[in-house]
Structures are given as structure tokens and as C-alpha cells.
């Protein structure tokens, strides 16, 4: 059981009209790991995430999460599955008409029959766990900075104590200190809640700092998976350019100097 | 990797709280979905034994910490025993992140709060009226400036908006006016027939449509159609910081966005008004013929001989003013949009309601004015 992958994608094909995004993509995610999904802009990282959480119907292929097929579930099974994962979209995707507190309460309110006081208390804890101050709770999303919105989106994603969280470029657009803090937060919450993290990112620092494994997307497939060290030896021009370019060397040097 | 989260989807057992030899004993699975059945109003105890707890998530840990806090509040120093290392980590995390104060809803407003609110609203209303008048001034100044330097006028934008607010509104405006003409003829006929004065239906229709209804109803439709579209378009640009980008490029949003829309409206509303007048007269003539037997020939000659052309002028002179009201209100409300989608929606509806209200008010003022002039 423990060795079974928590997410398993086999032969995934997705396309928009004539434009094929994934063409026979395979990917396994192990329970409890932080897997970093990298790839150039437009290689279909976000589309992969949307397919795995069932927001987008693939043309072909099999996607199982917790051993259940995401594509063929009926509405009832899907609702049950959905409770066990949380998604944070790019830029947080907070409900703009609700306060931070209400945003975090929203999934609890929808999924569980819980008294208002308990719900409020649990949501307040989640808001603190992602490192937001208590006075951020009554604020509206438009009053928050980009980094705070991402944290609030993270709080909403973990509101129901999911087993997997999907994060779409959580550190994009954050300053390096904010990005490092977000990485630290992700790792810390993984430890505290036993999360599996599906992390779409461009950020080499995040890959170095917190990812157990990395999957590289290119040409509609997963080109390679492995640890950061193993990526150095992959013989593919894009992978070489990405992991051995000046930025990659800087990130590596920074990590070694720590 | 070992985790504290539930490993399988098997049904959790009901959590229970018991008092046993001076301590609280917790038993079962303490999870998000199960803790609601617990009664946390327990007597304080020195020991909290969680060795018989199965699964524990953040909600369960919250229960443990809440029990611990109650005991501390009663002056005890409670101990949590029997926790696995993962469980005690989770409990420590929750303890660290629990807000000190109760998460209570905001207090209900008192009378003085409400009075304060009324005061603030009044001041805010006055201030926004001032701002809107200022905005009107800036737009008028910009348009005059453009007329002095016509090479700066954005003809493409103006023609585009003329098509949007004018041409595309022709079907709905003419249908509306036609139906109003029909209704007037029908209702007028019923009354006038009692006096044998059927033929006066022509005067009734002509004067009411040409003087008032044609242009007023056209303005109301255009306010609903185009005023709201102006607010939504400019508002969503504001939301995506396009307006700020424009300013940094040295473009004046009033010149680029507002002036073409307002000019297009001022040009097209009179045209729409004329179309509405014709459609209304046509509808009225048709209904008079069917219902009263007033033939089109009689209708026409009576229209020409009895209805002064001043009625037409009185109606149409109002059109540019209504256009200015609709354009200014629509664009001004769009500029007021702040970061979120909520404010875009509420300002769009404010824009429509306010411009219709102001159009009707202006129409009333015009009536008084013309009555004094005796036109
Ligand atoms: N809703 C959509 N309709 C059409 N094409 C789409 C849609 N969403 C994504 N695509 C295309 O799919 C490709 C992958 O997109 P995406 O997954 O967003 O890239 P990224 O890896 O940068 O997240 C892009 O070429 C994009 O144009
Ligand atoms: Mg993306």
C-alpha cells in the first residue's frame, strides 16, 4: 500500500482543437513527497494539474488518484475524492467577494456539517498556519498583497486537511525572501499535516530547497524524473540548459553555501 | 514516508470523551468530519489521555488543545499523555497557531453607530456628487480641446462606439417606440371614442411621442444598454491596471476612453430619437387605422396641419443633454471601480440606475423650462 503511487497518470493525451498539449504522458507521485513539475512556458503544466484534479477531460489516458480513476467517477465519488485534495491556483484565485476568513471557511461550509464557532476556530488556525497575521482575517482579497493572497489561497487549499495539495506556481511573482518563506511554509506544512505536494514551479530555488523529486515536462511527455542531482545528468538540450544555466548554478551555489 | 493523515478511506470510528480516574480519556478517530458530535464543555482535568485515539487531524488536535486551554483557565497544569510523536508534533503546531482571542463575530451596531453611518454616507454622497461634477468639467474641457485641435480626435474609436451605441441599438429602439405608438393609439382610442373625437388621437400620439416619450424612452434604453457597457468596459480596464499603464505612457484616459464614448453618444442619441419618433408615429398610425378607421392619409394630413414642428424640436433638443448624462455617469462609475469583481458589478448597476434617474430629472426640468417659455 505505502509503495503504491498516490497519483498515477498513464498515457495521458490532452488537446485543444488541433493543438495537442500532452501526448502519452506518464507520471507517478509517491505518497508524502514533494514533487516539482517543471517545463517551459506553455508546455502544459497547468493543463496537467487541471486534468489530474478532474477540471478538464483528457482525450485519452488513465488518471488514478488514491487508486481511484478520476475520469470515470460519478458525481458522488468525485465529491468524496475532491475532499481529499486541495488546489491552489496561480495567484490564489480567492473569492473576491469574501473575506480571507470566509474564503478559508468556504470549503468547510460546503463539505462538512459543522457549527459556525468550530468552523471559525479551525479556519483561524489555518490562516495562522500559513503565516498570515490575525488581522488579515477580516480583510478582502483586494486589500492583500500578492504574497498574502497566495498564502490565503494556500490556507483555503488545506482547510479540509487534504492528503494532497496541488500548487500552481506558488512562488511566481514573489520577492526572493517571500518565495523562500513560502517554500519553508510548504515544507513545514508537509511535515505537520503529512501532505503530498504536487508543485508546479519555475523556481529553481524551490526545486533545490524542498522538492524530493522533479519531473520535467517537454514535448508533451515527462522527459525525466529524478532528484535534483540526477537532473544534472539528463542528456536533453532543454534540461541541460535549464539545470546548468547561469541561474541554476547560482541557485546551486547558494544552496551549497548554506 | 509516514504520515498522520488518514491512510485509507475506511469509515472512521466515533470519537468519545470520558472521565476516568481524574483524567480525560479520548477514544476514537478525531477528524474534521467527526468531532462535531463531541461536547467540549467538560470539567477541567489534570490529564488528557489520547493513547486510545486512532486518527488525528488538525480538527482533532484543535479539540485536544481546546480541552487543554479549558483546564489551564481553571488553574490546572494539564498534561497530554499517550501521544505518538507525529501526534504531539501536530498538537504543538496547532497550539502555536491558535489565536489567543476568541474568533467572535463583530458586535451588533448600536444607534450611535447607525447615526454615524448615516452621516458618513451623506458626506460620501455629497463628495461623489462634487467629484462627478468635476469629472463632467474635465470631459467637457477635453472635448473642447479636441475640437480646437481636430487632428487629435480619435475617429476610429468614435466610429466604433457610434456603431455600438447607435447602429446596434436601432432594432430595439424602433421596436420599443413602435409598441409605444400602438399602445397610445389603443388607449387613446378607448377614451376619445366616448366623445366622438376619434380624430384627435393623431394629436395625442404626435405630441406625446414627439415631445416626450420618443426621446425619453430611447434615453432609458440607451442608459441600460450602453451606460452599463461603458462602466463595465472602463471598470475592467481599471481592474487590470490598464488605465494606470495608459497614464504612464502619457495617454490621457479621458481623451482616449471617455471622450470618444461621450462624443459618439452625443452624435447618436438624437439619431436614435428621430428613428424612435418615426417608429412611434408609424405604430400609432397603424393602430388608429385598425382600431378607429383613421386612414393613413387622414393621419398624415392631420399630423401636418395640426402638429407644430416645435414639438419635434422640443423633444430633440433634449437628446444631447441626455447623452451627456448617460456618457458621463457611465464612464465616471467605471473609473470608480477598485480591485475586485464585486465593485465592478455594483458600480455597473449604480451607473444604470443613476443615469436613468438623472435623465428623468432632467426631463422634468426641461418640461418646467418649456412651460415657462411657453413653447
Ligand atoms: N483553455 C484553453 N484553450 C486553448 N488552449 C489552451 C487552454 N488552456 C491551455 N491551453 C494551451 O495549452 C498549452 C499549455 O498551457 P499551460 O498548461 O497553461 O502552460 P504552462 O505549462 O505554462 O502552465 C498552451 O499552449 C496553451 O496555449
Ligand atoms: Mg501555468
Per-residue three-class SS string for B267-322: HHHHHHHHHHHHHHHHHHHHHHHHHHCCCHHHHHHHHHHHCCHHHHHHHHHCHHHH
Q: B29, B58, B346: best mutation site toward chain A, by most A Cβ within 10 Å?
A: B58
Cα separation of A52 and A69, whole Å?
A: 10
Residues B182 and B282 in one domain: yes
Calpha distance A112→B330 (Å, rounded)? 43
**pLDDT value for B1:** 38
- DSSP structure class, residue B7: -
- What is the distance in angstroms between the Cα of A221 and the nearest Cα belonging to chain B? 27
A60-65 and A7-16 beta bridge pairing: antiparallel
What confidence score (pLDDT) does residue B102 get? 59
- Is A128 close to B98, i.e. CB distance below 8 A? yes
**B190 assigned to some structural domain:** yes
Domains in chain B, number: 2
Looking from the CA of B111 toward its CB, the CA atoms found within 13 Å total 0
What CATH number is attached to the domain comprising B91?
3.30.750.24
For residues B144 and B79, membership in a common domain is answered with: no
Q: Which has the closest alpha carbon to A165: A65, A254, A87, A55?
A: A87
Contact of B318 with B363, CB cutoff 8 Å? yes
Q: B337 and B287 share a domain?
A: yes
B270 and B215 belong to one structural domain? yes
The segment with the largest mean pLDDT, out of A2-11, A235-244, B117-126, is B117-126
The answer to whether A47 touches A70, Cβ cutoff 8 Å, is no
Query: DSSP H helical segments within chain B, as ranges?
Result: 58-73, 85-97, 111-148, 155-165, 170-192, 201-207, 214-222, 228-239, 242-248, 253, 259-292, 296-306, 309-317, 319-335, 341-373
Residue-level pLDDT, tens digit, chain B, 375 residues:
344 444 444 677 888 888 877 788 888 888 888 888 887 777 777 888 888 888 888 888 888 888 888 888 888 888 888 888 888 888 888 888 888 765 556 677 788 889 999 999 999 999 999 999 999 999 999 999 999 998 888 999 999 999 999 999 999 999 999 999 999 998 888 888 888 888 888 888 999 999 999 999 999 999 999 999 999 999 999 988 888 888 888 889 999 999 999 999 999 999 999 999 999 999 999 999 988 888 899 889 988 888 888 899 999 999 999 999 999 999 999 999 987 777 899 999 999 999 999 999 999 999 999 999 887
What value, to the nearest 5°, has the Cα angle with vertex B110 and ends B106 and B111? 155
Domain end position, chosen among B71, B97, B123: B97
Does B111 reside within a domain?
Answer: no
Distance CA A133, CA A127 (A): 8
- Model confidence over A11-50: pLDDT tens digits? 999 998 889 999 989 999 998 899 999 988 888 898 999 8
Domain carrying residue B363: 136-373
Residue A125 CA to ligand 2 centre (angstroms):
30
Contact B1 A32 (CB under 8 A): yes
**Residue A49 is inside which H or E element, if any?**
helix A45-52
Helices (H) and strands (E) in chain A, counts: 10, 10
Question: Which residues of chain B lie closer than 8 angstroms to A191, CB-CB?
Answer: 89
- Ramachandran area for residue A175 (φ above 0: left; ψ -120 to 50: alpha; else beta): beta
Determine whether the shortest distance from the Cβ of A44 to ligand 1 is under 6 A.
Answer: yes
| Run of H or E including A185 | helix A176-193
pTM: 0.70
Kindly state whether residues B287 and B353 are assigned to the same domain: yes
Cα separation values, B190 from A235, B75, B200, B288, B297, Å: 91, 88, 12, 11, 21
8 Å CB contact between B52 and B26 = yes
Pair B282, B354 in one domain:
yes
Same domain, B72 and B208: no
Say if B124 falls within a structural domain: no
Mutate to test the pocket of ligand 1, among A36, A41, A42, A88 (most ligand atoms within 8 A of CB): A42
Q: Is residue B122 part of a domain?
A: no
Terminal CA-to-CA distance of chain A, rounded, Å? 37
> CA B70, CA B124: separation in Å to the nearest integer?
47
- Are B210 and B331 within 8 A, CB to CB? no
Rg of chain B over Cα atoms, rounded to whole angstroms, equals 35
The span from the CA of A198 to the CA of A205, in Å, is 16
Q: Indicate whether B40 and B170 sit together in one domain.
A: no
| Per-residue confidence (pLDDT) for residue A256, from 0 to 100 | 67
CA distance from start to end of chain B:
90
Same domain, B93 and B160: no
| Domain assignment present for B349 | yes
Q: How far is the CA of A92 from the centre of ligand 1 (A)?
A: 18
Residue B61 sits at the vertex; the CA angle it makes with B56 and B62, to the nearest 5 degrees, is: 140
Cα gap B256→A50, rounded to integer Å: 39
- What whole-number distance in Å separates Cα of residue B348 and Cα of residue B337? 9
In this structure, the answer to whether residues B193 and B259 fall within a common structural domain is: yes
Q: What are the tens digits of pLDDT across the range A112-153?
A: 888 888 888 889 998 988 888 888 888 888 888 888 888 899
Q: Which residue has the higher pLDDT, B209 or A94?
A: B209
User: Could you say which of B6, B32, B58 has the minimum Cβ distance to residue A125?
Assistant: B58
B183 and B258 part of one domain:
yes
Higher pLDDT pick, B280 / A172: B280
Measure A237 CA to nearest chain B CA, in Å: 34
- Both B311 and B233 in one domain: the answer is yes
Amino acid at each position: 500500500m505505502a509503495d503504491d503511487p498516490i497519483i498515477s497518470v498513464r498515457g495521458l493525451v490532452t488537446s485543444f482543437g488541433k493543438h495537442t498539449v500532452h501526448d502519452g504522458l506518464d507520471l507517478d507521485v509517491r505518497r508524502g513527497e514533494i514533487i516539482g513539475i517543471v517545463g517551459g512556458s506553455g508546455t502544459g503544466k497547468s493543463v496537467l494539474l487541471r486534468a489530474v484534479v478532474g477540471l478538464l477531460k483528457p482525450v485519452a489516458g488513465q488518471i488514478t488518484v488514491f487508486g481511484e480513476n478520476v475520469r470515470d467517477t460519478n458525481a458522488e465519488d468525485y465529491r468524496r475524492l475532491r475532499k481529499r485534495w486541495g488546489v491552489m491556483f496561480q495567484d490564489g484565485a480567492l473569492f473576491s467577494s469574501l473575506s480571507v476568513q470566509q474564503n478559508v471557511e468556504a470549503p468547510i461550509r460546503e463539505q462538512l456539517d459543522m457549527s459556525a464557532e468550530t468552523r471559525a476556530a479551525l479556519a483561524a488556525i489555518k490562516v495562522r498556519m500559513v503565516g498570515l497575521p490575525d488581522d488579515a482575517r477580516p480583510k478582502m482579497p483586494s486589500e492583500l498583497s500578492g504574497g498574502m493572497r497566495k498564502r490565503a489561497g494556500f490556507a483555503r487549499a488545506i482547510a479540509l486537511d487534504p492528503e494532497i495539495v496541488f500548487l500552481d506556481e506558488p512562488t511566481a511573482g514573489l520577492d526572493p525572501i517571500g518565495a523562500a518563506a513560502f517554500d519553508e511554509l510548504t515544507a513545514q506544512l508537509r511535515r505537520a499535516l503529512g501532505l503530498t505536494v504536487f508543485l508546479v514551479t519555475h523556481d529553481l530555488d524551490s526545486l533545490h530547497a524542498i522538492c524530493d523529486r522533479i519531473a520535467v515536462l517537454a514535448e508533451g511527455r515527462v522527459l525525466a524524473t529524478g532528484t535534483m542531482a540526477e537532473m544534472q545528468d539528463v542528456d536533453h538540450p532543454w534540461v541541460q540548459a535549464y539545470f546548468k544555466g547561469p541561474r541554476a548554478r547560482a541557485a546551486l551555489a547558494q544552496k551549497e553555501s548554506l | 514516508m509516514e504520515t498522520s493523515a488518514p491512510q485509507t478511506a475506511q469509515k472512521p470510528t466515533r470519537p468519545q470523551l470520558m472521565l476516568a480516574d481524574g483524567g480525560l480519556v479520548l477514544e476514537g478517530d478525531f477528524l474534521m468530519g467527526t468531532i462535531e458530535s463531541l461536547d467540549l464543555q467538560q470539567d477541567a482535568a489534570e490529564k488528557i489521555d489520547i493513547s486510545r485515539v486512532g486518527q488525528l487531524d488538525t480538527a482533532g488536535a484543535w479539540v485536544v488543545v481546546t480541552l487543554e486551554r479549558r483546564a489551564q483557565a481553571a488553574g490546572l497544569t494539564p498534561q497530554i499523555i499517550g501521544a505518538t510523536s507525529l501526534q504531539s508534533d501536530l498538537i504543538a503546531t496547532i497550539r502555536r497557531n491558535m489565536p489567543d482571542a476568541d474568533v467572535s463575530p463583530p458586535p451588533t451596531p448600536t444607534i450611535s453607530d447607525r447615526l454615524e453611518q448615516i452621516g458618513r454616507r451623506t458626506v460620501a454622497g455629497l463628495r461623489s456628487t462634487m467629484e462627478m461634477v468635476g469629472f463632467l468639467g474635465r470631459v467637457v474641457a477635453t472635448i473642447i480641446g479636441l475640437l480646437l485641435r481636430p487632428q487629435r480626435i480619435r475617429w476610429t474609436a468614435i466610429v466604433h462606439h457610434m456603431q455600438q451605441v447607435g447602429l446596434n441599438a436601432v432594432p430595439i429602439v424602433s421596436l420599443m417606440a413602435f409598441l409605444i405608438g400602438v399602445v397610445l393609439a389603443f388607449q387613446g382610442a378607448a377614451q376619445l371614442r366616448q366623445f366622438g373625437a376619434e380624430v384627435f388621437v393623431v394629436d395625442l400620439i404626435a405630441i406625446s411621442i414627439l415631445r416626450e416619450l420618443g426621446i425619453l424612452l430611447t434615453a432609458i434604453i440607451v442608459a441600460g444598454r450602453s451606460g452599463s457597457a461603458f462602466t463595465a468596459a472602463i471598470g475592467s480596464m481599471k481592474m487590470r491596471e490598464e488605465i494606470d499603464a495608459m497614464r504612464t505612457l502619457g495617454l490621457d484616459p479621458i481623451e482616449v476612453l471617455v471622450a470618444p464614448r461621450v462624443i459618439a453618444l452625443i452624435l447618436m442619441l438624437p439619431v436614435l430619437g428621430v428613428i424612435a419618433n418615426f417608429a412611434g408615429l408609424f405604430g400609432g398610425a397603424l393602430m388608429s387605422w385598425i382600431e378607429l378607421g383613421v386612414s393613413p392619409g387622414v393621419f398624415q394630413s392631420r399630423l401636418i396641419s395640426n402638429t407644430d414642428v416645435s414639438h419635434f424640436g422640443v423633444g430633440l433638443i433634449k437628446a444631447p443633454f441626455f447623452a451627456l448624462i448617460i456618457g458621463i455617469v457611465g464612464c465616471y462609475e467605471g473609473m470608480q471601480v477598485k480591485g475586485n469583481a464585486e465593485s465592478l458589478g455594483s458600480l455597473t448597476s449604480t451607473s444604470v440606475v443613476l443615469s436613468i434617474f438623472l435623465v428623468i430629472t432632467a426631463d422634468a426640468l426641461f418640461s418646467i423650462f418649456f412651460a415657462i417659455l411657453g413653447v
